[in-house]
Amino acid sequence: MPDGMIQVGIVGSSAAIRRHTQAMHKIQDIRITGRWIAGSEAGPVSDADTGKPCSSAGELIGTADALVIDGCGDYCSDLAIAALRAARHVFLHSSSVRSVNEAYQLLKLAREAGVILRAGKTGNYNTRGLLEALGDKADINMIELQHYYRIATGHSHMPQALLADLEVITSLLKARVISIKAKGICMIASQPDILNARLEFDNGCAVNYNCNLVAAQSEFLGTFVLKNRILKYNFITGEVTSWFLQQPDGGEDPLFIQRHRVENTDTLTGELTDFFGLIRADHAFLSMYDSGFEPYVLAERILEKVMKTLVRCS
């Protein structure tokens, strides 16, 4: 790479280009060489900040070592395929992929080209702050996630909500799912708007998950059972409450409660830093699990089970 810099092209909506540009300005040894606003959308995006405007995706691919794709709707996967066939590294969000088969196709192309394909997270939850609270070597035995969306927000797309939450789970557990049980209920929509699932992993951890798109108020809470404590985390406020089952200083009180708040971190910058780090390290091909597509696969498996036993209340 010239001057030790990674040449990066950005393609997507004007809003997505701004968001990724702001994140990449915090990363060293990155040069944004061009941009292409997908579709007919136009926006006041500064050339100085986002690289040279390109007239086509092909022109953009020709200027870059890596392509960052977001906000292109159904075009995201097609652009990723074109970039991988041109042996370019690709970063896109897992929700941009239209099917599991398409995810496998992208991974196959990345393997053949010897480049990095990385799927970014759909949600913007502070999992890095949660990892800090849990500790680097957290031994998580059980997780309970409860995610409620206030009905007035109009959030009624269960696949997207499920995917974002599974991204949280898989980022915490470096393990594979060996068992899935799931059930869904339709309260007001044709698709499930309440979902319950239990996932068991090969490291012995179990996850109980509830998602409700028709709740009275929005909440996202997680309870984590570790070896010597129970930790409760509020994903919205960043509040952490830990119940230690014995005093850290060896005191007689069997219960010690500790409370603090973690600061919200820039999730996108962290993901892009990891992506460019893999490129610099000349990392070997990433599997479905390591590439970030695993939550997408799990979401499809869960929804398949839910649709078989779906209960309709209306």
Q: Residue 23 domain-assigned?
A: yes
Same domain assignment for residues 113 and 132: no
Q: Which domain holds residue 237?
A: 127-264+299-312
Using the 3D structure, point to which of 120, 142, 174 is the last residue of a domain: 120
For 15-30, the pLDDT digits (tens) are 888 888 888 988 989 8
Q: Residue 199 domain-assigned?
A: yes
Instruction: Please compute the mean of the pLDDT values over residues 39-68 and round it to a whole number.
Output: 71
Calpha distance 157→254 (Å, rounded): 44
**What is the percent of the chain with per-residue pLDDT over 90, rounded to a whole number?**
26
Q: List all residues 6 or more positions away from 36 whose beta carbon is below 8 Å from its beta carbon.
A: 9, 10, 11, 53, 54, 55, 56, 57, 59, 60
Closest alpha carbon to 15 in 38, 34, 33: 38
Calpha distance 3→99 (Å, rounded): 38
Phi/psi of residue 252, nearest 5 degrees: -80, -25
Using the 3D structure, point to which of 84, 105, 120 is the last residue of a domain: 120
CATH number at residue 24: 3.40.50.720
Same domain assignment for residues 34 and 107: yes
Q: What is the mean pLDDT of the chain?
A: 82
Same domain assignment for residues 181 and 147: yes
Q: Residue 136 domain-assigned?
A: yes
Q: Quick check: 3 pLDDT over 60?
A: no
Same domain assignment for residues 157 and 303: yes
Calpha distance 235→238 (Å, rounded): 5
For 188-235, the pLDDT digits (tens) are 877 888 999 999 999 999 999 999 998 888 899 999 999 888 999 998
Q: Residue 285 domain-assigned?
A: no
Range list of H helices, 177-285: 267-280
CB 158 within 8 A of CB 193: yes
Residue 293 three-state SS: coil
Q: Are strands 140-150 and 206-215 parallel, antiparallel or unpaired?
A: parallel
- Alpha carbon of residue 153 to chain centroid: 21
Same domain assignment for residues 131 and 257: yes
Q: Residue 294 domain-assigned?
A: no
pLDDT the model gives residue 12: 85
Calpha distance 293→289 (Å, rounded): 6
Number of domains comprising the chain: 2
